Structure 1
Amino acid sequence: MLKRWCEIKKPQKISVKQIAVKNDAHITNTVVKKYDAIVVGAGPAGLTAAFFMANQGLDVLVLERGPYPGAKNCGGASIMAEHTHKLFPNFWEELLYERIITDQSYWWMTEDSVVSARFQSARLAAAPYNRFSVKRTNLYKWLTDKAIAAGAQVKFNHSVEEVWFDGQKADGVRTANPDNSKYLADVIILADGANSLLAERAGLAPRVTAENMSLYVKETIALPPEVIDERFNLVPSQGTIIGLIGYPTAGFNGTGSIHTFRDSININIGMSIANFAQAGFSPNDLLERIKKHPHIKRLIAGGETIEYGGAVIPEGGYHAVPQLVHRGLMIIGDAGSLVNGTHGINLAMWSGFYAAQAAYAAKINRDYSIRKLSLYTKLLNESFVMQDLKANAGAAKLMRDIPYAFDLYSRIANEAAFQVAKIYTMPKRAKRRLIFQKITSMQPLTKILSDAWQTLKVIR
C-alpha cells in the first residue's frame, strides 16, 4: 500500500505577512507568503522545474491537488536514460526503477495474427543504458524528494482554481481547498497536465479539441518475475516494451503498448477522444478486446489485476503548442502540449529544466517580462524538445488524412506474411503474383504509393 502523503513542509525561513483581500468573498484575512516561484502540479515537468529553481536558491512552492506523488496516475512508463542522466547524473543509483529495457518490439496486429519487428541487444544493458521501465508513483516520489531536498516546499491536497493577475502580470494563484488562500509569487509555472484548465480560464491557451487529445486506459497485471522472463524471453532484471498497432484500436488510428515491470506487466490502449466519440465504444471496450487476443491472452494468463486507470494525453503536436510565455508566467510539460510519442515524460522534464533557467535569470535581473522569460522558449527551440516536435509537426494531420492507416496496413502486412508462409502447390512466380493480387485487392497500388509518399513527407 502506497503511503498517502498529505503535506510536506519546510520550516519557514522568513516571516509571513497578513494580507486583507478586499471585495472577494472567498478570501479574507488570509496569511500569504510571497515566493520567488510557484509551480502548479507535481508531475515530472513541475517537480523538475522546482528542483532546479530551488537548487539555484529560489524560494519555491509546489501546489499539487493529489494527496501524494503520482496519486492521479497508475501503472508505469519508460524513461530515456541519456535524457534523464544529463539532468540527474547516475539517476539509476537513486530511482527505484523496474527493469532495464534491452528489448523493443512492434506488433502489427489483426484479430488472429501478428507481424512483429524485434530488436534485442546486450549493449543496451550497460551504463549509461538506454531506457528504464518505471512505476509512475516511484518516479514522482523520487522527483518530489529531490525537489524537497533542494529546498522546495511541496503542498499536497491543494487544488489551484485560478491564476491571479496584477494588471497584465501573473501575480499568484488561488486554491479552492483546503484553505481558500491566495499564494503570491514573482513567477508562476503551470504544470497542471493535459487540458490545462488554469491556462484556459486565464485566457492564456485555447480550449483543447477532441482531435488533439487522446484518451488511454491502462491495466497493471501482477505476474511472478520468472514467469515474465519466460513468456517474454528476457534475462532477469531486463525488460521489453512492445508497441501494439492495428487491431487494438478497432479500425481507428491509435496505439497500445505492453511494458514489463519487475513483477507485473502494464497494458495500455487508446486513441483520440474524437475517434471514441465517432466509434461509440469506451476505452475499456478496447482494453478487454485486446486482452482476449490469442497472442496477448497467453502472456497475461494467470495474472491478477492490481491497478486500472486512464489518462488523457495531448497529441496535437507542434501546431497545438500554445503561447508558452506570458508576463510572470510559463507553461510547461503536458500543459503546453510538449509531448512527442514515447518522449512525453522526458520532454516534460526538460521543459521544466529550461523554465527553471528562465526563472532564475528573471530573478537575478528582477525582470519578469515576456522578453526576459522568453529565455525559456529560446532554450526550448534550440533543444531536441522543440526540434523533435517540429520534425513531426505533420503527424497529427497525417493521422486525420489517412484514418485507416494503422488498421488497413496492419491487415495488408499480416495477409502478405500469411501468403509468404503458406505452402502452395504452385510455382514461385505464380505465388508472387498471387501475393501481389491479394495486397492490391485490399488497397490499390496507386493509393498505397500515395499514402507512403504522404508519410515520408512527414517523417523525413
Structure 2
Amino acid sequence: MINRVFSFKKPYKINPDSIKSQTTNQAPAGKFDVIIAGAGPAGSTAAYFMAQQGLKVLLLERGCYPGAKVCGGVSIIAEHTHKLFPNFWDELEWERMVTDQSFWWMTEDSVLSTRYQSKRLAAAPYNRFTIKRIHLYQWLAQKAIDAGAILLNNHHVSEVLFKDNQAIGVKIAEPHPNYYLADIIVLADGANSMLAEKSGLIHRVSPLNMSLYVKETISLSAEIIEERFNLLPNEGAIIGLYGYPTAGMNGTASIHTFKDSISLNVGMSVADFAQSGTRPYELLNRLKEHPNIKHLLKDGKLKEYGSALIPEGGYTSIPSLVHPGIMITGDAAALVNGVHGVNLAMWSGFFAAKAATAAKIVRDFSERKLSLYRTLLNESFVMQDMKANAGVAKMQQDIPYLFDLYTRMANEAAFQVAKVYTMPKLAKRKFIFQKLISMQPLGKMLKDSWRVLKVIK
C-alpha cells in the first residue's frame, strides 16, 4: 500500500507566461454563448465543461493571469475532484498526499489534540491533497483554454449589461474599456461579489457572514517538514487549530504541509475583527509565538503573506443563484461549507455548464430554463451538505464563547487528569468537576450542548 504513494506520474507544470501569451489579444468580434467573470476554480471549471460541449466561451480574469492574486494553498478532496477530472493527480501539481489529520484545541500554554494517521488514506482514489492555489487556478484555466475557451487577462468586468431584465453582456473597465455580448453570464468573481450586488441580484453581504483569513507560507526543507510532522516523503499533514488562535472569539486556524513549505492561516468573521479592534496580522503573529507552533516553524523563511475573504454564513446566506441570463457560482454564491470551498466551487461550475448547455440547445436563456443549475445543486451533495449544516453559522453567532471557553475547559480537565495529586481518585474526580462548573455552570453547559447537538444532528 505504501508504494502507491510513490507511483504517480510527474505532474506537468504550467508556466504563467504560457497562459499570458495565449490571452494577450482581444476576443474576436461577435456574440458569445457564455461570458464568465472570474477565472478561479468555479469560473475555469465552468469554462472547461462548456467549451467541451461546443459552446463559445469567453473567460474574463481581472488579474494578469489566473491565480495572480492568491496566496498559500488549500486541500482538495480527491474523490470529488476525480469525478470531475479523472486521475487529476497525474496532471495537477499537488504538494503532498494527506495521510495525517489532526485537531488541536489550544490555550496560551497547552494543546489538547486528536490525531489520525493511516496508510489507507494513500490508496486510490486517495483522500486529500494539499495544493498551492496558484497551481490549481492555472491548471484549470489551461484546461479551459485547451478545450476551446478564450481567456482574457487584465479584464475587470465592471458591470453586467441588461436589456429589460435579461442579462445580455458585460462592460469592461480600464485599461481595456469595452463590452462583450453573450446569451448567458456566469458570475464567478469570488466572495463579496460586487457584480451581483451592483446588478441588484444580492444584498450587501453581512460582516457576520464574511470571514477574513490572513496567511503565511513559510519555507522549510522537505526533510525538516517530514521530521517535525513525522511524515514519509510525499505524505502530508493538516492540523485544524481552535481556541487560542482567534483570541477569545469563534474562528479557526490551520496548518497545511507542502513539499518544501508550511502554510499557516487564521481567521474569523469581519464583524468580530471590527468589534474587537484586533488587526488580522496581530492574530497571525500571536499564533506564531505559541510554543507548540513556534517549534514547527523554527528557522523557516517567510515566502508569502496574504489574506482572503471567505463567505461562511452557510446555507441560509446563499442568495438566489439564477436570474434571467445569469448564474452565480462558487464563493460568489456563498458555497462554502466548513473546510469545503474549492471543491464546491468546481462542482458549481460543472452544474452551471450543464444548465448552459441545456439552455443553448433550445435557445432559451430564461430564469426558468437556467434553473436547472439550481436543481442540480439541490440534488447533489453540495446543497444537501450545506442544508445539513445550516445552523452552524447561527450557532457560532449565538454562542460567541463556544470555541474559546470550551477549549479552555477541555484543556483544564486534561491538565487535572494528567497531574498527580495525593488525594484519593474519587476526591480528585469531584475536584475536577468543581473546577469545570466554576468555569461554566452545569445548566449552561447542558443548554449549550443541546444546541450544538441539534445543529450537528
TM-score normalised by the shorter chain: which range applies? over 0.9
Residue 112 (str. 1) matches residue 109 (str. 2)? yes
Alignment partner of 2:377 out of 352, 377, 380: 380
Residue 172 of structure 1 aligns to a residue whose secondary structure is strand
Residue 71 (str. 1) matches residue 68 (str. 2)? yes
Question: Structure 1 residue 235: deviation in Å?
Answer: 1.3
Q: Which residue of 2 aligns with 1:40?
A: 37
Residue 173 of structure 2 aligns to a residue whose secondary structure is strand
Question: Structure 1 residue 10: deviation in Å?
Answer: 9.9
Residue 208 of structure 2 aligns to a residue whose secondary structure is helix
What percent of counterpart residues are identical? 66
- Segments of structure 2 that go 5 or more residues without pairing to the other structure are 1-13
CA RMSD in angstroms, aligned pairs only? 1.4
TM-score, scaled relative to structure 2:
0.95
Q: Which residue of 1 aligns with 2:3?
A: none
Q: Which residue of 2 aligns with 1:122?
A: 119
Residue 199 (str. 1) matches residue 196 (str. 2)? yes
For the Cα contact (< 8 Å) 1:332–1:351, is it kept in 2? Answer: yes
Q: Which residue of 2 aligns with 1:26?
A: none
Question: Structure 1 residue 178: deviation in Å?
Answer: 2.6
State the Cα deviation string for residues 178-226 of structure 1 (Å, max 9, x = none).
Answer: 3211110010000000000000000011110110100000000000001
Q: Distance in 2 between matches of 1:356 and 1:183?
A: 19
For the Cα contact (< 8 Å) 1:7–1:157, is it kept in 2? Answer: no
Q: Which residue of 1 aligns with 2:11?
A: none
Question: Structure 1 residue 236: deviation in Å?
Answer: 1.2
Q: How does 1:161-240 map to 2 (within 5 A)?
A: 161-240=158-237
Question: Structure 1 residue 240: deviation in Å?
Answer: 0.6
For the Cα contact (< 8 Å) 1:317–1:396, is it kept in 2? Answer: yes
Seen in structure 2, the aligned counterparts of structure 1 residues 33 and 9 have a Cα distance that, compared at 3 Å, is: farther
- Quick one: which amino acid aligns to residue 165 of structure 1? F
Q: Distance in 1 between matches of 2:101 and 2:408?
A: 22
State the Cα deviation string for residues 295-327 of structure 1 (Å, max 9, x = none).
Answer: 000000000000000000001111111110001
Question: Structure 1 residue 371: deviation in Å?
Answer: 0.8
Q: Distance in 2 between matches of 1:166 and 1:33?
A: 17
Alignment partner of 2:143 out of 146, 149, 155: 146
Residue 428 (str. 1) matches residue 425 (str. 2)? yes
Question: Structure 1 residue 167: deviation in Å?
Answer: 1.3
Residue 210 of structure 1 aligns to a residue whose secondary structure is coil
Residue 319 of structure 1 aligns to a residue whose secondary structure is helix
For the Cα contact (< 8 Å) 1:317–1:339, is it kept in 2? Answer: yes
Q: How does 1:85-104 map to 2 (within 5 A)?
A: 85-104=82-101
For the Cα contact (< 8 Å) 2:348–2:377, is it kept in 1? Answer: yes
For the Cα contact (< 8 Å) 1:8–1:156, is it kept in 2? Answer: no
Question: Structure 1 residue 127: deviation in Å?
Answer: 1.2
Q: Which residue of 2 aligns with 1:343?
A: 340
Residue 263 (str. 1) matches residue 277 (str. 2)? no
For the Cα contact (< 8 Å) 2:24–2:152, is it kept in 1? Answer: no
Question: Structure 1 residue 8: deviation in Å?
Answer: 2.6
Residue 297 of structure 1 aligns to a residue whose secondary structure is helix
- Aligned pair count reads 443
State the Cα deviation string for residues 129-174 of structure 1 (Å, max 9, x = none).
Answer: 0000000010111101110111101111100100000111000000
Q: Distance in 1 between matches of 2:256 and 2:304?
A: 14
Q: Distance in 1 between matches of 2:15 and 2:210?
A: 30
- Quick one: which amino acid aligns to residue 281 of structure 1? T
Q: Distance in 2 between matches of 1:149 and 1:10?
A: 16
Seen in structure 2, the aligned counterparts of structure 1 residues 35 and 7 have a Cα distance that, compared at 3 Å, is: farther
Question: Structure 1 residue 50: deviation in Å?
Answer: 0.3
- Quick one: which amino acid aligns to residue 31 of structure 2? K
Q: Which residue of 2 aligns with 1:22?
A: none
Residue 8 (str. 1) matches residue 5 (str. 2)? no
Q: Which residue of 2 aligns with 1:276?
A: 273
Residue 412 (str. 1) matches residue 409 (str. 2)? yes
Question: Structure 1 residue 341: deviation in Å?
Answer: 1.1
State the Cα deviation string for residues 244-291 of structure 1 (Å, max 9, x = none).
Answer: 000000000000000000000000000000000011011100000000
Q: Distance in 2 between matches of 1:2 and 1:72?
A: 16
Q: Distance in 1 between matches of 2:134 and 2:270?
A: 26
Residue 410 of structure 1 aligns to a residue whose secondary structure is helix
For the Cα contact (< 8 Å) 1:7–1:154, is it kept in 2? Answer: no
Q: Distance in 2 between matches of 1:272 and 1:85?
A: 32
For the Cα contact (< 8 Å) 1:7–1:155, is it kept in 2? Answer: no
Q: Which residue of 1 aligns with 2:130?
A: 133
- Quick one: which amino acid aligns to residue 66 of structure 2? P
Seen in structure 2, the aligned counterparts of structure 1 residues 2 and 151 have a Cα distance that, compared at 3 Å, is: closer
Q: Distance in 1 between matches of 2:208 and 2:69?
A: 23
Question: Structure 1 residue 177: deviation in Å?
Answer: 2.6
- Quick one: which amino acid aligns to residue 142 of structure 1? W
Residue 340 of structure 2 aligns to a residue whose secondary structure is helix
For the Cα contact (< 8 Å) 2:23–2:153, is it kept in 1? Answer: no
- Quick one: which amino acid aligns to residue 250 of structure 1? A
Residue 343 of structure 1 aligns to a residue whose secondary structure is coil
Q: Which residue of 2 aligns with 1:390?
A: 387
Q: Which residue of 2 aligns with 1:322?
A: 319
Q: Which residue of 2 aligns with 1:301?
A: 298
- Quick one: which amino acid aligns to residue 427 of structure 1? P
Residue 342 of structure 1 aligns to a residue whose secondary structure is coil
Runs (4 or more) in structure 1 with deviation over 3 Å come to 1-7, 9-12
Q: Distance in 2 between matches of 1:135 and 1:46?
A: 18
For the Cα contact (< 8 Å) 1:157–1:177, is it kept in 2? Answer: no
Alignment partner of 1:333 out of 330, 336, 343: 330
Question: Structure 1 residue 2: deviation in Å?
Answer: 7.4
Residue 211 of structure 1 aligns to a residue whose secondary structure is coil
Question: Structure 1 residue 7: deviation in Å?
Answer: 5.5
Residue 439 of structure 1 aligns to a residue whose secondary structure is helix
